[in-house]
């Protein structure tokens, strides 16, 4: 209760402060009355969803997710406007103090706020506010096909030009538009890749979340098959269970659903993709994450039967596994495919110019292709979304990777 009181007090204080910019900039009283009403509605919905309306317990349902999204948008707007107002208020205070000490007036009187500065503050605050709303409305289904060509000295000849499609972090429990998901599935199939890899987090928490969408993902097709691994959300660790048996059954249901959708789930195991006498070793580990994330991945167990000289593709959900374990392993893993970070679903990307997201402060390898010690990793930005129900700047991704034999002549 104390935390809620503090949160509400801070929210109202921020709202009152940013309201001063609207009062200064606008000549129409209805604008700040509208701002008050909208702010209170967003606050009320958030409180309801996370207290009395939280029948799902710790499950982040769609209503709770949207309540969080709208709150994030309005607080971002408030913080940006406040930065300008606070800076100006420091100047106003210093100016008033100077006039009181060295001027002709004996009264301490703050100069009026400047309308132009308030207009600038509101304009800049409106940019992320509008972007976050757009991300909730359109950005989360703004699928992008990102294509890469990777060259290797020792790629088996028969796999020269072999094309891989990778998707990751489906998080079907967050979906709310069947036609958009169907479009994403069609876009994956249009790539006509040789194989499809899914690198974990099929659901948010429970296998049942996939039931309304399973028929769509069954339609994914590649001539050499579809392979998958588990991500941290697939184990059901983030919701309470009445018994451990129910939790275990949930995981078994999820594994069964993946099989029914045509995926070959790799659980700390490997298999070979073959073309004539040439072959690639495909290794799939369970989730292994740094910090508080589950470490069920067992790379040595997964490598059983794989030779050191084999060309190896590793599926591992969390890129911290690649950084902490894979890069310096005795075996050479030519290509690792990961996901997990979502690129934080927020950032700025202009190809060849800038790639930035706050998630870079948590993960060194957070989106796209990286190369270390002649080994590559692709960190997929994710097909779905969770938490904030949208994406801004970091769009949902379908990775298409073509393997090429390096010409040594």
How does pLDDT run across 31-78, given as a tens digit for each residue?
989 999 999 999 999 988 888 765 554 556 788 899 999 999 999 999
pLDDT value at residue 111 = 66
Q: Could you tell me the CATH number of the domain that includes residue 312?
A: 3.60.21.10
Same domain, 87 and 160: no
Residues ≥6 apart with Cβ < 8 Å to 147: 400, 401, 402
Same domain, 176 and 79: no
CA-to-CA separations, 23 to 37, 76, 377, in angstroms, rounded: 15, 19, 52
pLDDT value at residue 87 = 83
Same domain, 93 and 198: no
pLDDT value at residue 106 = 61
Same domain, 132 and 148: no
Domain stops at, among 137, 157, 177: 137
Same domain, 114 and 156: no
Same domain, 31 and 163: no
Same domain, 133 and 146: no
Number of domains in the chain: 2
Same domain, 226 and 99: no
Euclidean distance between the first and final Cα of the chain, in Å?
A: 71
Dihedral sign from CA coordinates of 268, 259, 282, 290: negative
Domain stops at, among 95, 111, 137: 137
Going by C-alpha positions, the residue among 401, 368, 365, 370 that lies closest to residue 382 is: 368
Same domain, 173 and 38: no
pLDDT value at residue 89 = 79
What's this model's pTM, rounded to 2 decimal places? Answer: 0.91
Same domain, 182 and 40: no
Q: Which tokens go with 365?
A: 């390898």
Domain stops at, among 137, 155, 173: 137
pLDDT beneath 70: ranges in the chain: 53-60, 100, 103-111, 408-409
Give the angle 137-143-147 at the CA atoms, nearest 5°: 160
Cα R_g (the chain), whole angstroms: 26
Same domain, 161 and 128: no
Same domain, 48 and 171: no
Domain that holds residue 98: 2-137
């Amino acid at each position: 209760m104390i935390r809620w009181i503090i949160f509400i007090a801070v929210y109202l204080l921020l709202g009152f402060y940013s309201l001063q910019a609207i009062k200064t900039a606008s000549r129409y009283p209805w604008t700040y009355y509208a701002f008050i009403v909208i702010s209170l509605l967003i606050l009320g919905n958030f409180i309801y969803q996370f207290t009395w309306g939280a029948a799902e317990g710790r499950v982040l349902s769609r209503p709770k997710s949207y309540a969080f999204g709208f709150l994030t948008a309005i607080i971002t707007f408030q913080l940006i406007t406040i930065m300008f107002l606070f800076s100006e208020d420091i100047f106003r205070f210093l100016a008033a103090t100077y006039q009181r000490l060295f001027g002709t007036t004996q009264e301490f009187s703050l100069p009026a706020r400047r309308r132009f500065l308030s207009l600038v503050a509101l304009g800049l605050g409106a940019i992320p506010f509008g972007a976050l709303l757009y991300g909730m409305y359109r950005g989360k289904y703004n699928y992008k096909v990102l294509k890469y060509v990777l060259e290797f000295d020792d790629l088996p000849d028969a796999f020269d030009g072999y094309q891989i499609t990778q998707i990751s972090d489906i998080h079907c429990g967050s979906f709310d538009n069947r036609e958009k998901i169907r479009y994403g599935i069609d876009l994956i199939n249009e790539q006509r890749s040789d194989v499809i890899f899914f690198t974990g987090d099929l659901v948010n928490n429970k296998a049942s979340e996939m039931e309304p969408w399973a028929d769509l993902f069954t339609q994914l097709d590649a001539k050499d098959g579809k392979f998958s691994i588990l991500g941290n959300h697939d184990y059901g660790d983030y919701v309470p269970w009445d018994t451990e048996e129910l939790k275990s059954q949930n995981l078994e249901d999820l594994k069964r659903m993946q099989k029914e959708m045509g995926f070959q789930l790799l659980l700390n195991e490997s298999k070979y993709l073959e073309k004539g006498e040439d072959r690639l070793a495909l290794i799939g580990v369970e989730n292994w994450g740094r910090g508080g994330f589950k470490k069920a991945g067992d790379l040595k167990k997964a490598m059983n039967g794989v030779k050191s000289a084999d060309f190896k593709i590793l599926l591992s959900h969390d890129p911290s596994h690649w950084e902490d374990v894979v890069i310096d392993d005795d075996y050479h893993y030519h290509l690792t495919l990961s996901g997990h970070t979502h690129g934080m679903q927020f950032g700025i990307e202009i190809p060849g110019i800038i790639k930035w997201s706050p998630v870079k402060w948590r993960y060194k390898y957070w989106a796209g292709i990286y190369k270390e010690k002649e080994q590559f990793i692709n960190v997929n930005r994710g097909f779905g979304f969770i938490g904030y129900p949208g994406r801004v700047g970091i769009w949902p991704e379908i990775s298409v990777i073509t393997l090429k034999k390096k010409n040594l002549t």
